[in-house]
Each structure stands twice: as structure tokens, then as C-alpha cells.
Amino acid sequence: MSLRYSTFDNTPRRLTGDDTMGTDDNTKGTPPTYDPKGEHGSVAPDPSVEDSAIIPAGVLDPVYDAKARVLNRAIQDIGMGWYQWQLFIVVGFGWAADNLWPIVTSLALTPIANEFQPARPEVFTLSQNIGLLIGAAFWGFGCDIFGRKWGFNLTLGLTAVWGLVAAGAPTFGAACAFAALWSFGVGGNLPVDSAIFLEFLPGSHQYLLTVLSVDWALAQVVTNLIAWPLLGNFTCQQDAETCTRGQNMGWRYFIIAMGGLTLLMFFIRFVLFTIFESPKYLMSKGRDEDAVRVVHEVARRNGTTSELSVEDLKVCEPPGYVRNTDVRTTLKRHLDKVNSNQIRALFSTRKLALSTGLIMAVWALIGLGYPLYNAFLPYIQATRGVEFGDGSTYITYRNNLIIATLGVPGALLGGVLVELPHVGRKGALFGSTALTGVFLYCSTIAQSSTDLLGWNCAFNFTSSMMYAVLYGYTPELFPTPQRGTGNALTATCNRIFGVMAPIIAMFANLETSAPVYTSGALFIAAGLLVLAMPYESRGTAAL
């Protein structure tokens, strides 16, 4: 018999092995029953709150469910301290890279096309999106198998290396290949980083997952700030008859600068910061001692202590509970999870299936709508600018910097709205997504370059708010054992539809409003789907 953290309130309760039956590969037990007085050490959720729970009772292994609640209580007791604030900073690098490199592709597209004169310039963006798709699937699913720690460091490292190599691309085909390779690293940043950050956050501070999108918006500003002088002064003009490598070095300087910045972020992560594996991930793999050790180390770095013990976790197991550690059996179980088990768990109840399906659809629609417009924004700005009589390269990149700046307050506002009663995650996501579509429609009525700039500023403000909420809301909908898989599913949907954007652009006239109308409709449709989401995660600690 042992004292442990309660799964329902702040008071400790006694548990016995007989009362915490669970299931595993080699054991079967009777599911625990709800005991409101705590006299029999219950670990199952109260049936009365099942309808409002993000993960309904019975979906998770009862042993895992009980242990996850113990760890939640321990992390909450430690509080938001020095380690989590350091993690907040370095996780922000992943958010920054996720926006920085697609913007690099977008901004470099025009000078690369001017220099190499490819028949299909959109293939450069297509190559990026293929890399993002493969990276999201590999790192997202993989982090549920080999852990969050490896992906956390390698994604930035690979991005930096291939980005630097890309600056020397001798042909258009080589530039496309390198874009796919750096995007393989970029694609894994958010699935891995959001999982590991959420699993170290106390429930009272989960809103910081939304605030992290400030880094996403700041990356847009920094990227455009660097691009303005380099691409504005060292690349061929839009209307130039010839464009040689010597006249067009700006995009190469630009990619070197972005690769160097990413390499610096990797160095800070890998050398100056010590990342611990997620305690919930370790616990889900049967490594309770390691999970407890990490919790105590986080507490020490925060200048406090934790009373969590291995016994507090072991007491959640039924008698005779043994996890098979045979290498071949473990490998087979991991491969089985990749094939079906992890995904099936996210569709195991009607409401959970609806939630998972809808959030995947939202990511898919946004995955098509956003790059269909934003990836070609500099090109649209330049061509429409020529039409308005001020389409110089310098003005094009200056306007992109102004547009990017509006993303910062948009992301901050998203972090505020998600915590407001009667708004929450769903309200903030619906409003920002629908408004993004509306502002895109409004941009088609621009009568001058200034009008177009204004509507694009409004678009970037609301789209940054949308992404801030979406990045925070999505991982909260998945339990830790399937969080990487859930993130991978949504990211894969996003990237698959992202691959379609440049393909559509190949057959669309970018000098007309057709891509804009299509993008606007997709954003509005995504916003309407949000209203049908069955869960509001505000005020709920992630399992």
C-alpha cells in the first residue's frame, strides 16, 4: 500500500494493486471502478465527466491512464519553472524553422526562376512540399517509436546542413533536390516539438503552446528583413531580359544566411541546452524509473523538489503485471503500432473519431489554401505591382516585410483568446480561420498597390492567429502514446494537400484572382469544420 497523487484532486489517496487492474500484452485484469471517496484507490475517470473529457474513459490502457494522471499531478506540483522556460525558448526554434524555410522557398522562387528559366518554376515549391510531407510522416510517427529526443535535435541539424549546401546549387534541378532535403528536416519540427513541450508543461500553462507561435511570426519578420536587402539589391529585376549567376547572387546569400541562422539554433539546442526525454513517453514504454528520474531532475533545475516515487507509478499496476522486454517482441510491437494500433486508438470511440477526422480535415484544407496563396505571394505582389506601376524588386520585398510584421501581434492575440471563457480554442480558431478567407476575398478588389498591401497585412494578421491556435489546440486532442502519431496524421494531411498547391498553380493563371478565390473558400470551409469539433480543450490537462 502506498500514498500517491490523486488522479482527480489535490489530495493523496491510498491505492492497492488489487484496485488498479490494467491490461498489457501478457496480463488481463478487471478495469478499475470509480470511487468518489477514494477508499479503494480508484484510477478510472468519473463517468459523469466522460462526455466532456478529451480522451474518454476506457480509450487508454487503464494502467497508462492512471500513471499519466500521476505524472500530470507531479508536473503541476513542480510548476512552470526554469527548465520549462528554457524549453519554451528552444522549442520556439522549431516553430521558427517551420515558417522560416517555406518563406525562403517562396522568396527565392522568383530569382531562381529568373536565373535558370525553368519551364515549370512551381516544381521548386512542389519539391519543398514533398520533403515536408515525408518529413512530417517520418518524424511524427517515428517519435512515438524512438522517442522525442532524437527528432528534437536532428530535425534542425539536417535542415541547417542541407540549407547551406543548397546555396551552391548549379542547376534548377539541384535547387529542387536540396529544397526537398532541407524540408525533410523542417517537416518534423512541429510534430516532435509540440509533443515534447506539451508533455513537460503543467496543465495551468498549456496555453503557452499557442503563444509559441510568436516565434513562427517573428521568423517571418526576420526572414523578410534579411531578404529585403539581399534579394532587393543583389538579384535581377522582374523585367530584366537576361539574368546571369553573377547578377543574381542575392538568393544564394539569402539561403546561406538562413542556413547559418538555423545552424546557430541547432547549436544552442544541442550544446547549450540539455533536453530530457518526455516522462510520459518513458512511462508508456515501461521505463518508470527513468520517468521519475527526469521529473526529479526537472524539479531540481526549477529549484524545488518532487515527492514522486517509482512506487507511485508501480502501484497503478495489477499484480503480476510484466512488460515484455524481449528485443524481438518489443520491435514487433513497435512495428505493429506503426501499422495500425496507434492510429486505431485515435478512432476508438465515436467522438474521438469525429475529433480526429475533423482536425485532420481542417489541417488538409489549410494545407492547400495557405500555400496556394502565400507561397506565390511575392510573385503576385510583383506582377500586380507591375500592373499598378510600382513592381520593382525592392518594393516587392519591402512590402513582404511589412506584411510579415503584422503576424507578431496576430500570434499574441491568439494566445490571449484561447484562454477566454466563451471563446476558447474553438472560438478563436473558427474566427481567425474564417476571417483569413474573408480578407483574401477582399484583396481581389484592390485598386492600388497600397490597397493590396493593406488587405495582405490583414490576411497575415488573422492567418498568424489561426496558426497560433491550431498549433496549440491540435496536440491537446491526443494522448501521449498517440500524440506523435496524431500530430503526424494532421501534419501529413497538411503536407499532402500542400503538395497539391504548386500542381494547381501550374495550371492556374497566377495573374488572375482564381487562386485567391480558391484559397479564401478553403479557409472559410475549414473554419466551419471547427464549429463541429466535439471537444474544447481549454482548462483540461493533456494526458
Report pLDDT digits (tens) over 143-189.
877 888 888 989 999 999 999 999 999 999 999 999 999 999 999 88
pLDDT value of position 121: 87
**CATH code of the domain containing 527:** 1.20.1250.20
Residue 351 located in a structural domain: yes
State how many domains the chain has: 1
Residues 6+ apart with CB under 8 A from 319: 17, 18
Which DSSP category does 409 fall into? H
Specify the amino acid at residue 456: N
pLDDT value of position 535: 79
Residue 161 located in a structural domain: yes
Residue 252 located in a structural domain: yes
Residues 6+ apart with CB under 8 A from 85: none
Query: Quick check: 430 pLDDT over 90?
Result: yes
Residue 386 located in a structural domain: yes
Residue 96 located in a structural domain: yes
pLDDT value of position 488: 79
Confidence of residue 381 (pLDDT cuts 50, 70, 90): low
Report pLDDT digits (tens) over 303-320.
999 999 999 988 888 876
Residue 507 located in a structural domain: yes
Are the C-beta atoms of residues 378 and 397 closer than 8 Å to each other? yes
pLDDT value of position 220: 85
pLDDT value of position 7: 35
Residue 231 located in a structural domain: yes
Cα distances from 204 to residues 77, 79, 184, 323, 390, in angstroms, run 11, 9, 33, 33, 50
Q: Which long-range contacts (CB under 8 A, 24 or more apart) does 173-178 make?
A: 175/112, 175/116, 175/124, 176/123, 176/124, 176/126, 176/127, 177/127
Range of the domain at 411: 82-275+346-531
Report pLDDT digits (tens) over 14-66.
333 333 333 333 333 333 333 333 333 333 333 333 334 455 554 556 787 78
pLDDT value of position 38: 37
Distance of CA 128 to the CA centre of its chain: 17
Residue 369: name the closest of 493, 227, 258 by CA: 493
Cα–Cα dist 269/74, whole Å: 25
pLDDT value of position 389: 53
Pairing of strands 2-4, 13-15: antiparallel
pTM over cut 0.85 = no
Residue 538 located in a structural domain: no
**Choice between 357 and 443, residue whose per-residue pLDDT is larger:** 357
pLDDT value of position 439: 92
220 exposure class (CB count in 10 Å sphere: 0-12, 13-18, 19+): buried
Cα–Cα dist 302/363, whole Å: 36
